[in-house]
Structure 1
């Protein structure tokens, strides 16, 4: 007996689809060895959150872009006999006043309404996806999963709990991300030092607030997920063309990526266009994303140094929210069948 599910992650900058088949569950959980990837991750940059931070609504152009992606995804899903679909919408949709048009279009194409999840639920699913491929014996716990999106950034601390299973211990969703910070502080094209300084103050305030909930000093392993993290890791590795296998799971010294983050942040848009490893749809916001990533890494390194254990590297991961969506949906669908 198996179940086939489709998951869609619609963020502020991009939308992703994955279809998987689960061949049984073990002790209420999902073993990735029992998970068959039917349609690997497909990503389209749609910039749904363009202007949402300022206007608090979706633009006509943004909706047209995301609707085209939904049309494409619905065609792909129709080619497979899926038992369940979950469409998850995150930061930009939480903030948009005119989201009903968006929701109705999804329902007309997929037969479901989107789940506009909270930051805490986004954090939980990101942690599930990121740690689903972790060899627990290889890394020190607790883990801090950092999911750096276009509109928000989730910090999720977790470690081994009962039955040697990974469990979330603390999480916080910060209302900062690559698109939001780029628009708010004019970071898309050779930003001035004044704009950079203002962005740093803004970002650091959010991190300080998050650190009251998530004890950064307890972190022993940082796992960075999302396009910003993997892209900046690829730049630090000197890639000209994105090579997923070389990025996924790589250990990157924090100092290495901080230097690259700083350089990319200060580039003009023309200079960023020479970074062929960066998706064209990310080039105007990658500097802002790099700055958020740098400030988070610095905050964790400083907090852990004060505790006597300095975290000076991170693990880049291709597995995050979308993986969590399909893993969670597959588990729940299978368990419902067994009742």
Structure 2
């Protein structure tokens, strides 16, 4: 057999996503492209360390919808992974039991390191640009956590091989719930969030030598949404955003502008998914600070500041499907 059909479900803090694809020795082909539902599973988890009943019901409804899609598209294997919010929730066994009753597979609560590895796999193997200079650092900015993953230099170590990774407990939902209590946030709230973010980045840099990077690749809904806004798109366009290179100055200006907007003002931009309206400012602030800190680290490490990043549509979900398909093929 030269290909397998597999499905992956990525259940994060803010959204749950399904992808069904045919994976072969020569690549991957979508059967059901990414289907996304914003369920805010992690609502309140940073404070209570438990899933809220309403958040669970929203997630179960999306899971039942995905079960219907899967019934129409038989697969050789399905893997359901859960990330930051589920790692933090004390009542996660109830969630796992119910999902298993709906889908027949039990959610795997993966570590931040595995999440980082899968995001790096997708971003480096599926982002189509000829000018990506290694070493690559991939930033996966989620609702509850943000992963930094550094690859090799392409000489002493393969550019697509993970050299170091770290998962930080900062993300769009977590920062918004923890710090932003006014609409728009006050300067004091923003300053407190920056201090929180910077402390996590400093800790991450003890594990990930970010200054070695020459190319930054950003994945996740926050990154691609803010990139689309910086591009001036009236509607979100996956194909236009994927692989685009964006300079820091333009990105920082747009990120800061949307951080200081009210939610009502953000709703006037169709480019932003309705489920991100209230948290995209927090995500933009995380994105700003992580980019700036990596740029500074690169300047200190090799005397050359990085001043742009590449946006990728290919993150954890794509890496999950690609990895699952490859592992099945290896055993056929």
Q: TM-score by structure 1 length?
A: 0.94
The whole-number CA distance in structure 2 between the counterparts of 1:36 and 1:152 is 29
Which of 111, 122, 143 is matched with 1:118 structurally?
111
Does 1:334 find its partner at 2:329? yes
Q: Structure 1 unaligned runs (5+)?
A: 26-30
1:146 match: secondary structure? strand
Deviations 1:102-150 (A, max 9, x none): 1011111111111100000000000001111245752110001000000
Deviations 1:52-75 (A, max 9, x none): 000001101100100010000011
Which of 53, 73, 97 is matched with 2:66 structurally?
73
Does 1:128 find its partner at 2:129? no
* Residues 247 and 135 (structure 1), Cα distance of their counterparts in 2 relative to 1, 3 Å cut: closer
Give the structure 1 partner of residue 223 of structure 2.
229
Deviation (angstroms), 1:230: 0.2
Which of 286, 297, 320 is matched with 2:291 structurally?
297
* C-alpha contact (below 8 Å) 2:246/2:308 kept by paired residues: yes
The whole-number CA distance in structure 2 between the counterparts of 1:190 and 1:126 is 32
Q: For this pair of structures, how many residues does the alignment match?
A: 329
Does 1:325 find its partner at 2:304? no
Give runs of aligned pairs for residues 123-272 of structure 1, distance below 5 A.
Answer: 123-134=116-127, 137-159=130-152, 160=154, 166-186=160-180, 189-272=183-266
The whole-number CA distance in structure 1 between the counterparts of 2:142 and 2:182 is 16
The whole-number CA distance in structure 2 between the counterparts of 1:37 and 1:292 is 31
Q: Structure 2 unaligned runs (5+)?
A: none
2:254 match: secondary structure? helix
2:126 match: secondary structure? coil
Deviations 1:19-52 (A, max 9, x none): 01123x3xxxxx42xx221110111100000000
Which of 82, 98, 104 is matched with 1:105 structurally?
98
* Residues 165 and 258 (structure 1), Cα distance of their counterparts in 2 relative to 1, 3 Å cut: closer
Give runs of aligned pairs for residues 266-281 of structure 1, distance below 5 A.
Answer: 266-281=260-275
2:268 match: secondary structure? coil
Q: Which moved more, 1:296-305 or 1:181-190?
A: 181-190
Give the structure 1 partner of residue 29 of structure 2.
36
Q: How large is the RMSD of aligned CA atoms in angstroms?
A: 1.4
Deviation (angstroms), 1:303: 0.9
* C-alpha contact (below 8 Å) 2:6/2:20 kept by paired residues: yes
Give the structure 1 partner of residue 16 of structure 2.
15
Q: TM-score by structure 2 length?
A: 0.96
